[in-house]
Amino acid sequence: MLFHQFFLEGLAHASYLVGCETARCCAVVDPQRDIDLYLDEAQRLGLTITHTFLTHLHADYVAGHCELAARTGAAICIARAANAQFEHLPLDDARRIAIGSVVIQALATPGHTPESMTLAVYDSASATVPTRLLTGDTLFIGDVGRVDLLGPQHAENLARQLHDSLFNKLLKLPDEVEVYPGHGAGSLCARVICDERSSTLGRQRRENYALNFPSQDAFIRSMVENVPETPAYFIRMVRQNRQGPRVLGGIPQPPALSARQVQARLAAGAVLVDTRPQARFAAAHVPGAYSIGAGGGFSTWAGSVLGEETAVLLLAEQDDQIPILVRQLVRVGCDRLEGYLAGGIDAWAGAGLPLRHLPQISADELRQRLRRREIAHVVDVRNDSEWNAGHIEAALHIPVGSLPQRYREVPNDGPVAVICAAGYRSSLASSILLQRGYDNVTNVMNGMNAWNEQALPLPG
């Protein structure tokens, strides 16, 4: 058997190539949308990609199943319960698919989603025990999949199903079976995934907190309580993956635009995403631009504030960053890429076009201004668990992913200070407020991390 794990930083997404060296064929499991890495690996190994599997309808990224099918002719395999709207091979529980001498068996493991499946990989048709489990978002290393992504009204029932999938199906297999999940640490599809990218059932049985509750009821309570915020774009991703994402045929190459061309497109309704560090954005930026710094969280935050039909323009620190930024955007379904500002902010300034400044203050200065009543409102844009761990008295809590829908809750009758943990999310939130007509906005540098390090008072 040929086996390879691919890991995509930022989305913390794991995908897999499973192949048969004798038959020179392979399958790709849970592919990312930019599929060149699978094509390159298959070519390097001299394999034909005959199948691609989805363990479930992914919520955090656009999958590459339709892209692979279009480029290679691979059959798309997905649970019948997914009600997929593209040509596919529907999988029922225990269905076996041969990849040469290797066998992939679909095991229905609902819980994270109703259609979730685990793929059991057997070395041969005669093998009675799988060597590997590709668990998707059912079982992670150190955690299990969230059950709340379809809404709180479904969470308890899905938690019950997840418990059954884990304890009455997966954990019936031997301890030595290897576990390869669909995500690693940093994914929003669970809470406390470990840094390790594979394990065994035996280790998970011993070490995974979610597999060691004293009862099913205790497991269910843990799954439905204190869950992280769900990014708004997750619903859109599920829909796109069920319908079948638009086939790109390769990574788009948006054109280089002059400052005047960007200005014209902004006037026509396009949105500019400024991917420079927050300090550079604060010093000078194009009015109305979003501050979404290039880095690990770029895809997630871009998906959270940009719609699938949003016409997007990019501004980068260096023009050679544009190709990777484009990849990160198409991974979350932002396909309308109209171009980028050639020469960046210097080109905009050089054309004599207006610039805007975002004031920044330290945590200690925020404290002093609050004492002097120079700040009317503090908006804390961290997630629920961070907020619950401690926050500034009288702060308004709106997680940044919800701010585009909830910004009207922020009073516009005086100076507003925006704070997160370290300054990245608050820079984005500040840009959202500026774009929506808030004129007196200040970003708090280093955020609550600095507040806590200085032992400033934390009443809540």
The dihedral over CA atoms of 62, 63, 66, 70, expressed in degrees to the nearest 10, equals 100
In sequence order, the 6+-apart residues with CB closer than 8 A to the CB of 225 are: none
The pTM of this model reads 0.92
H helix runs in 74-180, sequence order: 152-167
Query: Which tokens sit at 321?
Result: 């960053």
DSSP state of 287: T
From first to last of its 460 residues, the chain has per-residue pLDDT tens of 999 999 999 899 999 999 999 999 999 999 999 999 999 999 999 999 999 999 999 999 999 999 999 999 999 999 999 999 999 999 999 999 999 999 999 999 999 999 999 999 999 999 999 999 999 999 999 999 999 998 889 999 999 999 999 999 999 999 999 999 999 998 888 888 999 999 999 999 999 999 999 999 999 999 998 887 788 789 999 999 999 999 999 999 999 999 999 999 999 999 999 999 999 999 999 999 999 999 868 999 999 999 888 999 999 999 999 999 999 999 999 999 999 999 999 999 999 999 999 999 999 999 999 999 999 999 999 988 899 989 998 899 999 989 999 999 999 999 999 999 999 999 999 999 999 999 999 999 999 999 988 876 654 4
Hey, which bits of 192-336 come out as E strands?
Answer: 199-200, 256-257, 271-274, 290-291, 312-315
Domains and CATH numbers, the chain: 2-243 (3.60.15.10), 256-350 (3.40.250.10), 360-453 (3.40.250.10)
**Nearest CA among 69, 109, 73, 107 for reference residue 91:** 107
- 420 labelled catalytic: yes
Q: Annotated catalytic residue: which of 20, 25, 26, 420?
A: 420
DSSP state string for 346-363: HHHHHTT---B---EE-H
d(CA 186, CA 161): 25
- Helix pair 152-167, 216-224: axis angle to 10 deg: 140
Query: Which tokens sit at 402?
Result: 């919800």
